[in-house]
Amino acid sequence: MKSEEGLEKDFLEMAGEIISSDEFIKMKKYKQHIHGNTYDHSVRVAYLCYRHCIKHKSKVNVGELVRGALLHDYFLYDLHGEDSNVSGIVHGYTHPSRALENAIRAYPDLSPTERDAIRRHMFPLTPIPPRTRCGWLVCYYDKIAALEEYFGKNVGRVKKKNCY
Ligand SMILES: [Fe+2]
Ligand SMILES: [Fe+2]
Protein backbone atom coordinates (compact mmCIF):
# COMPACT_ATOMS: atom_id res chain seq x y z
CA MET A 1 0.00 0.00 0.00
CA LYS A 2 1.34 3.40 -1.00
CA SER A 3 1.90 6.18 1.50
CA GLU A 4 -0.80 8.82 1.84
CA GLU A 5 1.51 11.23 0.05
CA GLY A 6 1.99 8.80 -2.84
CA LEU A 7 -1.76 8.29 -3.13
CA GLU A 8 -2.37 12.02 -3.13
CA LYS A 9 0.24 12.56 -5.82
CA ASP A 10 -1.22 9.85 -8.09
CA PHE A 11 -4.73 11.16 -7.49
CA LEU A 12 -3.81 14.74 -8.35
CA GLU A 13 -2.17 13.55 -11.56
CA MET A 14 -5.34 11.72 -12.53
CA ALA A 15 -7.60 14.64 -11.54
CA GLY A 16 -5.30 17.34 -12.94
CA GLU A 17 -7.06 18.09 -16.20
CA ILE A 18 -10.44 18.72 -14.59
CA ILE A 19 -9.33 20.47 -11.43
CA SER A 20 -7.15 22.92 -13.33
CA SER A 21 -9.89 23.84 -15.83
CA ASP A 22 -11.29 27.37 -15.66
CA GLU A 23 -14.89 26.28 -15.02
CA PHE A 24 -13.91 23.92 -12.23
CA ILE A 25 -11.74 26.56 -10.56
CA LYS A 26 -14.78 28.87 -10.44
CA MET A 27 -16.28 26.48 -7.89
CA LYS A 28 -13.80 27.86 -5.33
CA LYS A 29 -16.16 30.86 -5.07
CA TYR A 30 -19.19 28.75 -4.20
CA LYS A 31 -19.71 28.05 -0.54
CA GLN A 32 -20.62 24.49 0.43
CA HIS A 33 -21.67 22.82 3.71
CA ILE A 34 -20.88 25.77 6.04
CA HIS A 35 -17.11 25.24 5.89
CA GLY A 36 -15.37 25.06 2.55
CA ASN A 37 -16.40 25.48 -1.04
CA THR A 38 -17.70 23.33 -3.88
CA TYR A 39 -14.23 22.96 -5.41
CA ASP A 40 -12.65 21.58 -2.25
CA HIS A 41 -15.70 19.42 -1.55
CA SER A 42 -15.66 17.84 -5.01
CA VAL A 43 -11.92 17.18 -4.89
CA ARG A 44 -12.28 15.69 -1.41
CA VAL A 45 -15.11 13.35 -2.48
CA ALA A 46 -13.09 12.22 -5.51
CA TYR A 47 -10.01 11.62 -3.37
CA LEU A 48 -11.92 9.59 -0.78
CA CYS A 49 -13.39 7.46 -3.60
CA TYR A 50 -9.98 7.03 -5.19
CA ARG A 51 -8.34 6.11 -1.88
CA HIS A 52 -11.06 3.57 -1.11
CA CYS A 53 -10.67 2.00 -4.51
CA ILE A 54 -6.89 1.62 -4.26
CA LYS A 55 -6.99 0.43 -0.64
CA HIS A 56 -9.66 -2.20 -1.24
CA LYS A 57 -8.58 -3.09 -4.77
CA SER A 58 -12.14 -2.38 -5.88
CA LYS A 59 -13.13 -3.69 -9.26
CA VAL A 60 -14.03 -0.34 -10.74
CA ASN A 61 -12.54 1.81 -13.45
CA VAL A 62 -10.62 4.32 -11.31
CA GLY A 63 -10.58 6.95 -14.04
CA GLU A 64 -14.37 6.84 -14.32
CA LEU A 65 -14.74 6.91 -10.56
CA VAL A 66 -12.54 9.98 -10.17
CA ARG A 67 -14.19 11.85 -13.05
CA GLY A 68 -17.72 11.04 -11.87
CA ALA A 69 -16.84 12.09 -8.33
CA LEU A 70 -15.14 15.33 -9.40
CA LEU A 71 -18.16 16.34 -11.45
CA HIS A 72 -20.92 15.18 -9.09
CA ASP A 73 -21.58 18.76 -7.89
CA TYR A 74 -20.75 20.56 -11.13
CA PHE A 75 -23.89 22.68 -10.91
CA LEU A 76 -21.87 25.92 -11.18
CA TYR A 77 -23.83 28.44 -9.12
CA ASP A 78 -23.53 29.79 -5.60
CA LEU A 79 -26.45 28.47 -3.60
CA HIS A 80 -25.62 30.91 -0.80
CA GLY A 81 -24.90 33.89 -3.04
CA GLU A 82 -26.89 37.14 -2.92
CA ASP A 83 -28.53 36.56 -6.30
CA SER A 84 -29.38 32.92 -5.66
CA ASN A 85 -33.04 32.19 -6.27
CA VAL A 86 -32.85 28.49 -5.43
CA SER A 87 -33.87 27.30 -1.97
CA GLY A 88 -31.76 24.70 -0.21
CA ILE A 89 -34.50 22.10 -0.48
CA VAL A 90 -35.07 22.64 -4.19
CA HIS A 91 -31.31 22.60 -4.74
CA GLY A 92 -31.06 19.22 -2.99
CA TYR A 93 -33.37 17.66 -5.54
CA THR A 94 -32.39 19.48 -8.69
CA HIS A 95 -28.63 20.01 -8.60
CA PRO A 96 -27.65 16.47 -9.75
CA SER A 97 -29.45 17.04 -13.09
CA ARG A 98 -27.94 20.47 -13.43
CA ALA A 99 -24.47 19.07 -12.65
CA LEU A 100 -24.97 16.34 -15.23
CA GLU A 101 -26.04 18.81 -17.93
CA ASN A 102 -22.97 20.98 -17.29
CA ALA A 103 -20.68 17.96 -17.15
CA ILE A 104 -21.95 16.62 -20.48
CA ARG A 105 -21.52 20.04 -22.06
CA ALA A 106 -17.90 20.21 -20.87
CA TYR A 107 -17.07 16.51 -21.32
CA PRO A 108 -19.36 15.05 -24.01
CA ASP A 109 -17.63 11.66 -23.80
CA LEU A 110 -18.87 11.13 -20.23
CA SER A 111 -19.53 7.39 -19.80
CA PRO A 112 -22.81 5.87 -18.56
CA THR A 113 -21.07 5.03 -15.27
CA GLU A 114 -19.88 8.61 -14.79
CA ARG A 115 -23.37 9.85 -15.63
CA ASP A 116 -24.87 7.46 -13.10
CA ALA A 117 -22.51 8.70 -10.37
CA ILE A 118 -23.48 12.32 -10.99
CA ARG A 119 -27.20 11.81 -11.49
CA ARG A 120 -27.78 9.53 -8.50
CA HIS A 121 -25.40 10.86 -5.86
CA MET A 122 -28.16 12.44 -3.75
CA PHE A 123 -29.90 9.12 -3.05
CA PRO A 124 -31.90 8.66 -0.80
CA LEU A 125 -33.03 12.30 -0.99
CA THR A 126 -33.65 11.66 -4.68
CA PRO A 127 -35.51 8.37 -4.89
CA ILE A 128 -33.63 6.40 -7.55
CA PRO A 129 -30.45 4.72 -6.28
CA PRO A 130 -27.19 4.49 -8.25
CA ARG A 131 -26.91 1.53 -10.61
CA THR A 132 -23.14 1.20 -10.57
CA ARG A 133 -20.47 0.54 -7.98
CA CYS A 134 -18.89 3.90 -8.86
CA GLY A 135 -22.25 5.55 -8.28
CA TRP A 136 -22.56 3.98 -4.83
CA LEU A 137 -19.04 5.05 -3.87
CA VAL A 138 -19.68 8.65 -4.89
CA CYS A 139 -23.04 8.62 -3.08
CA TYR A 140 -21.39 7.31 0.10
CA TYR A 141 -18.28 9.48 0.16
CA ASP A 142 -20.29 12.58 -0.71
CA LYS A 143 -22.09 12.14 2.59
CA ILE A 144 -18.87 11.48 4.51
CA ALA A 145 -17.22 14.59 3.05
CA ALA A 146 -20.35 16.69 3.70
CA LEU A 147 -20.40 15.60 7.34
CA GLU A 148 -16.71 16.41 7.73
CA GLU A 149 -17.34 19.85 6.26
CA TYR A 150 -20.27 20.55 8.57
CA PHE A 151 -17.95 19.94 11.49
CA GLY A 152 -15.03 21.81 9.94
CA LYS A 153 -12.84 18.72 9.60
CA ASN A 154 -10.46 17.90 6.74
CA VAL A 155 -11.91 20.73 4.68
CA GLY A 156 -10.16 20.71 1.33
CA ARG A 157 -7.75 18.12 2.57
CA VAL A 158 -6.20 16.09 -0.18
CA LYS A 159 -2.92 17.71 -0.22
CA LYS A 160 -0.25 18.16 2.40
CA LYS A 161 1.31 20.97 0.41
CA ASN A 162 -0.37 23.30 -2.03
CA CYS A 163 -0.71 20.78 -4.82
CA TYR A 164 -3.81 22.28 -6.33
FE1 LIG B 1 -24.52 17.13 -4.45
FE1 LIG C 1 -21.43 16.73 -2.99
Least confident window among 57-66, 76-85, 98-107, 151-160: 151-160
Nearest to 77 by CA among 91, 66, 63: 91
Q: Residues within 5 Å of ion ligand 1 by Cβ?
A: 73
Q: How confident is the model at residue 20 (pLDDT cuts 50, 70, 90)?
A: very high
For residues 154-162, give the mean pLDDT. 55
Q: Tell me the C-alpha distance between 3 and 123, whole Å.
A: 32
What's the pLDDT score for residue 154? 67
The answer to whether residue 115 scores a pLDDT higher than 70 is: yes
CA of residue 54 to ligand 1 center, whole Å: 23
What's the pLDDT score for residue 163? 40
The ligand minimizing its distance to the Cα of 122 is 1
Give kind and range of the element (H or E) at residue 64.
helix 62-70
The answer to whether residue 161 scores a pLDDT higher than 60 is: no
Domain boundaries, the chain: 4-150
What's the pLDDT score for residue 88? 74
Q: Burial, 10: exposed, middle or buried (Cβ in 10 Å; 0-12, 13-18, 19+)?
A: middle
CA of residue 143 to ligand 1 center, whole Å: 9
The answer to whether residue 28 scores a pLDDT higher than 80 is: yes
CA of residue 25 to ligand 2 center, whole Å: 16
Q: How confident is the model at residue 158 (pLDDT cuts 50, 70, 90)?
A: low
Question: Could you give the percent of the chain with pLDDT greater than 70?
Answer: 93
What's the pLDDT score for residue 2? 80
CA of residue 5 to ligand 2 center, whole Å: 24
Q: How confident is the model at residue 155 (pLDDT cuts 50, 70, 90)?
A: low
One of 3.10.20, 3.90.1690, 1.10.3210, 1.10.287 is the CATH number of 4-150, namely 1.10.3210
- Torsion on CA atoms 140, 147, 157, 73, rounded to nearest 10: 60
The ligand minimizing its distance to the Cα of 40 is 2
CA of residue 72 to ligand 2 center, whole Å: 6
The model's pLDDT over 116-137, given as tens digits with 9 standing for 90+, comes to 999 999 999 999 999 999 999 9
CA of residue 70 to ligand 2 center, whole Å: 9
